Structure 1
C-alpha cells in the first residue's frame, strides 16, 4: 500500500486525516445515544407533523419487540419496502435493535426484481407500504417470506389527518392497486402488539452485519453488498468530519436540518440522512415523492434547512421549476451531489441561485457509500469527485492491479473502514471485487491529479469505442448539457459497421425550438470529430433509477434492437 496520501495537504483546516471508528460497538449504540441525547428535539418532519427522537425511540422499541415476538432470531433478514415515510426510520431502528439484518428494497421494483431480492437475501419478514402490496402478492409464493407488516401513508399522523391522507392516497389519487395478502398485520397493530413486550437487544459488534444493500443492477444482476455495523458507523463519522467546516457555520440555537429527498432505502440517504442525523441530532425533512418538484418546493418553503444531499437530476429539476425562488435557500451550508456525475452547468446555476456550492462526492453501495468528496469549503465547481475521505485510501490501477502514475487513467480502487465485508453468498463475486491487499475494485475509470483530487472518467462498461478511440459519455454529456435549450441528455454507444461503435445522444429539450442541426453545430464547435454524436434523438424523458441516476443501459438496449 502506498504510504503517501497526497490529498491530506488539500484537506480543509480541522478535517482529520483519520477517524476513530471505535467510538461505537454498533449502530444500535449510536442510535440509543441519539435517543438519550436529543430526546426532545425533532428527528423527522413528515407531512406537516414533527416526530421527536424520544417518540422514534418508543415506536422503534415496540416494533423491535414485535419482531422478536414472531420468533425472529439474531441475523435473520427483514426486508423494508417503503419510500420516505416516518415508518421507515422507526422500522429500521427496530430491526437493528432486535439484532436483525435490514434488507433495503426499492419500492418501485417489479415482482421479478422483488422476488430475486427476497430469495437471494433469504428474508423471512417484510415491512411494505400498501401502495406496492400488489407487487408482493404477485411473487409471494416463490419467496421465503412468512411475516408481512403493511404500512400506509397516514399511519402515524393521528386519527383525523391520517384518515384523510389515506383516503386521498387510496380513493382520490388511486395510488393503492387492489391486493390480497391474507395474514398481513397492519403497522399500527404491530406497534400495539410490541408495546407491552420487552425488547432484548443481543450483543452486537462492529463485525456483525447490519444491512444487505443491493447494488442497483445498472451493471447486471443485483447483488447484496454486506455492510457491517462498523462499515456504516465509519462512513457516518467520515461524513460528519468532512461536513464539519460548513456545518459549524449554523447559527447557535438552530437545530441542524437536512432535506431528505433521496430515498432512505438508498445507501446515500440511509447513511448521510438517517444515521448521520442520529449522530448529530439533526432534523430530517422527509419527502416521500421527490419527483413531485412542486410538492418538494412547497414543503421546503416551510422550513429552515442547512444540508441537502441530492443527485444532479434533482438539482437540475428544481432549478428549472418556476417555484424555485419561493424557497429561502440562504441557510443552506452544504449541498452534496452524489449517485451520478454533477454537470458543471447545473453546479454553476445552483451556486448562483443559492450561494451554496454543490460538492460532488463519489461512492458506491459497496463503500457505505461515500469514498471521496470535494471540500465543503470550495466555492468553485472542480469537475472532480474530490479527495478521499478521512481513513480512506484510493488509487488508480491498471488491469493487473498496479498503481498507475499521477495523471494517468486507471480503475479506481478503494480501501477503508467503510468498504463492505463482501457480497452476500457470492464468494466468487467477492473475490473478483477485492484485491489481495483489501482494496475494492470500483469498476470506475478515473484519474488522480498531483493534489490527490480524483476525476471519474467513466464506468468501464459505459465507455464508447469509436474507431479505436475511447469516448467517455460523462464528458460528452457535460458539454451538451451546457447548451441552451437542453434540459437533460445521455450518451451511449450503438453498434456501427464502420467504426465499431457510434455515439447516440438522447436529449430532453427545455426549448422545443432546439433542432438536430443546432446540436450538430454545437457539437462541431465543442467536440473533436470522433466524440460527436452520429445519432441524435429527442425524448420527453430519460429512463432513470428511482434515485434519479440515468439508465444508459436501457438506452443502449433499445438502440440494439
Structure 2
C-alpha cells in the first residue's frame, strides 16, 4: 500500500468522529430516510402522478411526458407478466443505448417485480455470453443494431425470450420508419443476425396494452438490479442492489444536491449510458423523483451531433465523465452555447482533471463537482459540496447517512489526517453481496464495512482524496477494465509468450497498455495483435498502446510486477 507523495505534505493531525458533518453546506442533512418509499415502484408511481403532464424524456426530437411513461411502462409490465409469464424475482436483461425504450423497459420491468440486469450493448459475444450465463435472465430486450452479437452468444445461454427493438420505435410512424431505414440501409449499422422466435418490441407493447397488469408486492429488501462490476480476480460480478439500496442513494443525492434543485423545473442532459450505474441512479432515478425533463443522448461520442442536440435545450444540469467534458470544452459550437440556466455539473465514473474542471467553469460558469462511487454502493459515496468555489482535487465529503473510514494494512482504523489508508464504507446504499456468492467471504467486507480497494487520505474538514488504487483495475472512460481479461485474450494469440496489461495516463484519461513478450522466433507486429484483441474485446478494452519486450519484470516467485510497468510508462 505504498504512496509516493509529491510536493510538501501537510502535517498529520488526529481526528475522530465525522468531521465532514461540520463542513456540510446549508440545507444538507446529516441523515436521510432510506425508508421513505417501500420500493422503487412506489417512488415511480408518485412521480408519474405528480408530474403527469410534464416532459419526462426526450430523444431524437420526440418527448414522452410522465403520463405517457406511466402508460407505456404499464403496457410493457403487463406483457412481461401475462404475455411471457414472468414472475417477480426473475431476471431480465436490457441491452440498449440511451433511447426512449430504455426508461419504458426499465420501469416496466420494475413494475412487473423483475430484477434488471443492465448489459453494455458494445459487448463482444464472449463478454455477453459470460454475463448472461452468470445472471441467467430468462428474457432480454435488445436493439437491432447489436442483435448479431446476441446471435453468436445466445446458443450458450439459458435465455428463452428475445424482444427486439429498433432505433426509431418510439419516434412516430413516419419519422420512426425513416430512422430505421437510414440506420439499417444507409448507415449500415445493423449487421446480419438470426434470432428466430424474437418478438418485435412494438408487437410486445401492442399485446401488453390488451393485457391486465398486476401490481407486485415489493419491499425494500426485494432485489432490483444485478449491476455488473468487477472483482479482484478480474471476473465481472453482479452487485445485488435492492430497492432500498437504490432508494437510499436517491435520497442521499437529494440530500447533497437538493438545496440547488427545484422540483418539476430541472432539465438534465443524459449523455452517459443509463446502463451505467452512475447515470442509472443520478439521471434515471434522482431526476425522475424530482420530475425533471431528461434529454437522452444516444451517441455522445459524436460530439458535433451531441452539441446539435443541445440547441434549444436550456439545460440546468449535466452529468458526465472527464473525457466527455474535455471533448465538449474543445468544441467551438459548445463554447457558444447559452449556459445561463446551468447550475449543476456532476463528474463521476473516473477522476476529473484540474485543467478540464477549470476550463469547464470558465466556459459555462458552472462548477464541475466531482463525486466518487462504486457499483457496490449504488453508486454514490462522496461528493464535492455545492458551495465550493471551484476544483480542489478531492472527491468531496461522504454523503448523508454514510460512514467512511481509512484502515492500514493490518485493518486498523487510521485517526490521522493526510495519512493514506484503504477506504471502507458503510451505509444504506451498500449492496448485500455479489450474485451467486451465497454469503461466501471473498474479502469484499471487513467487519461489516465494504472494502473499496482505493487508497485515500482525509483532511481536517473531511474532504477525501484518492491517492492510489489497491487493485490493478484500469479505469477507461468510467468503465472498469481488468488486466487479467486483456492478458487472457492476448495470450490466446499463438505468437504471444507473456503479456501484462496496465493503465497509463493520457490527455483524455486512462488507457490500456499491453506489454508483450513474443515466443522465440515468432513474427508478430502491433497491427496483427490489435486485430486479434478487437475480435474478443469491447472497444474501450482494446489496448491503445502496445510495447514489445524481451522479458517482463517479475517477483522472485514469478509474479509479473505490473507496478513497475506502470511506473516505467509514467
**What's the TM-score, normalizing by structure 1?**
0.83
Measured in 2, the distance between the counterparts of 1:207 and 1:557 equals 49
Q: Residue 17 of structure 2 aligns to a residue in which SS?
A: coil
| Contact 1:311-1:547 at 8 Å conserved across structures | no
The offset of 1:554, in angstroms, is 7.1
Compared CA separation, residues 463 and 221, structure 1 to 2 (3 A): closer
| Contact 1:12-1:245 at 8 Å conserved across structures | no
Task: Kindly indicate whether residue 15 of structure 2 is the aligned counterpart of residue 5 of structure 1.
Answer: no
1:66 aligns to what?
79
The unaligned stretches of length 5 or more in structure 1 are: 465-472, 497-538
Which of 272, 293, 315 is the matching residue for 1:283? 293
| Contact 1:137-1:181 at 8 Å conserved across structures | yes
- Superposed, 1:4-403 pairs within 5 Å as 4-69=17-82, 70-215=84-229, 220-248=234-262, 255-403=265-413
Q: Residue 28 of structure 2 aligns to a residue in which SS?
A: coil
| Contact 2:514-2:543 at 8 Å conserved across structures | no
Which of 403, 423, 427 is the matching residue for 1:416? 427
The offset of 1:302, in angstroms, is 2.0
Measured in 1, the distance between the counterparts of 2:542 and 2:25 equals 35
Measured in 1, the distance between the counterparts of 2:311 and 2:287 equals 21
Compared CA separation, residues 463 and 141, structure 1 to 2 (3 A): closer
Q: Residue 155 of structure 2 aligns to a residue in which SS?
A: helix
Measured in 2, the distance between the counterparts of 1:428 and 1:443 equals 20
Measured in 2, the distance between the counterparts of 1:296 and 1:331 equals 19
Where do 4+ consecutive residues of structure 1 move more than 3 Å?
Answer: 216-219, 427-431, 486-496, 550-561
Measured in 1, the distance between the counterparts of 2:439 and 2:418 equals 32
The offset of 1:26, in angstroms, is 0.3
**What is the aligned-residue RMSD (CA, Å)?**
2.7
The offset of 1:379, in angstroms, is 1.8
| Contact 1:395-1:448 at 8 Å conserved across structures | no
Q: Residue 170 of structure 2 aligns to a residue in which SS?
A: coil
Q: Residue 327 of structure 1 aligns to a residue in which SS?
A: coil
Compared CA separation, residues 161 and 490, structure 1 to 2 (3 A): closer
Compared CA separation, residues 377 and 170, structure 1 to 2 (3 A): same
The offset of 1:219, in angstroms, is 6.9
State which drifts further: 203-212 or 215-224: 215-224
| Contact 1:360-1:373 at 8 Å conserved across structures | yes
Q: Residue 471 of structure 2 aligns to a residue in which SS?
A: helix
Question: Bigger relative contact order, structure 1 or 2, given CA contacts below 8 A and separation 6+?
Answer: 2
Measured in 2, the distance between the counterparts of 1:558 and 1:208 equals 50
User: What whole-Å deviation, never above 9, does each CA across 1:148-186 have from its counterpart, x for those lacking one?
Assistant: 100111001111000011111111111111111011011
The offset of 1:325, in angstroms, is 2.2
Q: Residue 44 of structure 1 aligns to a residue in which SS?
A: strand
User: What whole-Å deviation, never above 9, does each CA across 1:83-102 have from its counterpart, x for those lacking one?
Assistant: 00000000011111111100
Measured in 2, the distance between the counterparts of 1:426 and 1:217 equals 12
| Contact 2:422-2:452 at 8 Å conserved across structures | yes
The offset of 1:490, in angstroms, is 5.4
Compared CA separation, residues 558 and 225, structure 1 to 2 (3 A): farther
| Contact 1:235-1:271 at 8 Å conserved across structures | yes
User: What whole-Å deviation, never above 9, does each CA across 1:222-267 have from its counterpart, x for those lacking one?
Assistant: 100000000000001101121123225x9xxx72111000000001
Instruction: Figure out how many residues of one structure are paired with residues of the other and give that number.
Output: 491
The offset of 1:444, in angstroms, is 0.9
Measured in 2, the distance between the counterparts of 1:493 and 1:169 equals 35
Measured in 2, the distance between the counterparts of 1:326 and 1:305 equals 14
**What's the TM-score, normalizing by structure 2?**
0.81
Measured in 2, the distance between the counterparts of 1:427 and 1:408 equals 35
Measured in 2, the distance between the counterparts of 1:189 and 1:346 equals 46
1:523 aligns to what?
none
| Contact 2:513-2:544 at 8 Å conserved across structures | no
2:489 aligns to what?
none
Which of 414, 430, 436 is the matching residue for 1:425? 436
| Contact 1:245-1:377 at 8 Å conserved across structures | no
